[in-house]
Amino acid sequence: MNLLEVEGLRAGYTEEVDILNGVSVQVGEGEIVAIIGPNGAGKSTLLKAIFGLLRPREGKVTFSGEDITGAAPEVIVRKGMSYVPQVQNVFTSLTVQENLEMGAFVREDDFSDRLEALYRMFPDLERKKGERVGRLSGGQRQMVALARALMLDPKLLLLDEPSAGLSPAMVSVVFEKIREIKGAGVAILIVEQNAKEALRLSDRAYVLAMGRNVLSGPGEELLENEEVGRLYLGGG
Identity of the residue numbered 219: G
The window from 15-23, 89-97, 119-127, 209-217 that contacts other proteins (CB under 8 A) reads 89-97
Rg (CA), the chain: 17
In the chain, which ranges are continuous DSSP H helix? 43-50, 73-76, 96-103, 112-121, 123-127, 138-150, 168-183, 195-201, 219-224, 226-232
Length of the chain in residues, anyone?
A: 236
Contact 38, 231 (CB under 8 A): yes
Query: Is residue 73 within the footprint of other proteins (CB under 8 A)?
Result: yes
Query: Is residue 102 within the footprint of other proteins (CB under 8 A)?
Result: yes
The window from 30-38, 70-78, 115-123, 215-223 that contacts other proteins (CB under 8 A) reads 70-78
Instruction: Rule CB under 8 A: choose which of 114, 141, 148, 177 binds other proteins.
Output: 148
Provide the 8-state DSSP code for 164: T
Query: Is residue 165 within the footprint of other proteins (CB under 8 A)?
Result: no
How far apart CA 86 and CA 158 sit, in angstroms, is: 10
How far apart CA 28 and CA 6 sit, in angstroms, is: 12
Query: Is residue 83 within the footprint of other proteins (CB under 8 A)?
Result: yes
Cβ contacts of 200 within 8 Å, gap of 6 or more: 219, 220, 223
What minimum distance in Å lies between the beta carbon of 139 and other proteins?
19
What minimum distance in Å lies between the beta carbon of 53 and other proteins?
7
Strand 32-36 and strand 81-84: the pairing is: unpaired
User: How many residues touch other proteins (CB under 8 A)?
Assistant: 25
Is 51 or 119 the residue whose CB approaches other proteins more closely? 51
How far apart CA 171 and CA 214 sit, in angstroms, is: 27
Is 157 or 215 the residue whose CB approaches other proteins more closely? 157
Instruction: Rule CB under 8 A: choose which of 94, 117, 173, 209 binds other proteins.
Output: 94
The window from 27-35, 57-65, 73-81, 203-211 that contacts other proteins (CB under 8 A) reads 73-81
Query: Is residue 173 within the footprint of other proteins (CB under 8 A)?
Result: no
Query: Is residue 91 within the footprint of other proteins (CB under 8 A)?
Result: yes
Task: List residues binding other proteins (CB under 8 A).
Answer: 51, 53, 72-74, 77-78, 82-83, 85, 88-94, 98, 101-103, 105-106, 148, 152
